[in-house]
Amino acid sequence: MDAFFNGTWAGFQRTPDVSMTFWSTIVVLLATLVTTSVLRSQSSRSTRSLGDALEITQLHIYPVKSLRGCTLQAAHLGRYGFVGDLEFDEQKSTGGEVLVKWEGRGTEVGSTATNVKTEDEIRFPLMPSVETLRNLNIDLHGSKTRAYDMGDAFAIWFSERLGFETRLVYIGDGSRQILGSLAPNSKGGLRKAGLMQRLRSLFPFLGFPEERLVFSDLAHYLVVTEESNAEASARIGGDLGMDVRKFRPNVVIKGASGAFVEDFWGELTFNGGVRMPLTANCFRCQSITVDFETGKKAADDRGLVWKKLNKDRRVDKGMKYSPVFGRYGYCYGPALGKTLRVGQTAQVTRINSERTAVGEYHFRLSPLLLGRY
């Protein structure tokens, strides 16, 4: 009898309760519907304008790290930042090709070629085949990736002109982890995110994958304003002005209510529904003092712009010895594949109550190595 009872009880334990399974499924579905409804409501509220009516005036990309960039009229939003049709000044892409021109001017790093005409140039595909390229392991600020060595011919060309050993590498299908909590959908980013974003991340079909980088230092995009650049220009003597390209922005906008109000911006929404969370300040290095014509520190007041900004722009508690200029941003989810264009309007759709501060990880980075190189 006991054996029969025990066997019957064991069988009962193994038999699923169909009604319980059914109601559990219903509860999960209802929770999902409620969460989706709340998220949509939150999304609708968060896209309301909070004041400044903005307009894109410049778009820039930097195909080769540490080299000058190029100006675009339209830029496509990709997984790691801007992608798409490229046109360059010093580096020019036509039909999927990168053109780097050497202007033969000396720099402060070692000896360089002199009296080289602008016809001295080198070309390479924008998206080269990697089948025959040697793999390299790259560690950039502690974030590692696999990349591809473009070969000795490119290494010799760059090394001879720069005055030190250089190799050109292509990241190909590689990418890098974003350390710290700057990325909106990273574990660190979600811990400090709003309730709705955290709820969304609990459902795989509603959440977004964690952002990653290629060779940019900290984020996908850098946004600066013409109003802040005008303030920087006012600190330079005479009619010299500050070339905004020295800040290496991706997006330049006008229409801010004043200089440096972007310190508090938490999100921009561009016409067409492209949302760009702004998660961190860009703290600047001495590269903003370089004279594009000589490759050296500017001999006039433009060479003092870092010092002039440093007087009152050390506003990030996490990097208190470097001046702040610009905001780092990301685009993800529905924004990927869309296009930003010069003349496109935007609005501030989230304002932070206080300035953001870089996390503990970024204390370990040298300010001389950071910025949009």
Convert the pLDDT of each residue in 203-251 to its tens digit. 877 888 899 999 888 899 999 999 999 999 999 977 889 999 999 999 9
Domains defined along the chain, listed by start: 54-90+176-369 (2.40.33.20)
Convert the pLDDT of each residue in 246-297 to its tens digit. 999 999 999 999 999 999 999 999 999 999 999 999 999 999 999 988 888 9
Confidence label for 331 from pLDDT (cuts 50, 70 and 90): very high
Is residue 122 a contact partner of residue 100, using CB atoms and an 8 Å limit? yes
Average pLDDT score over the chain: 78
Return d(Cα 32, Cα 76) in angstroms, integer: 32
- When pLDDT is averaged across residues 45-57 and rounded to a whole number, the result is 71
Q: What is the pTM of this model?
A: 0.78
Q: Which residues pair with 280 in a beta bridge?
A: 328
Return d(Cα 320, Cα 281) in angstroms, integer: 12
* Per-residue pLDDT at 9: 39
Percent of the chain with pLDDT over 70: 73
Burial of residue 317 (number of CB atoms within 10 Å: 0-12, 13-18, 19+): exposed
Convert the pLDDT of each residue in 103-143 to its tens digit. 654 433 333 334 434 468 888 877 788 899 999 898 888 89
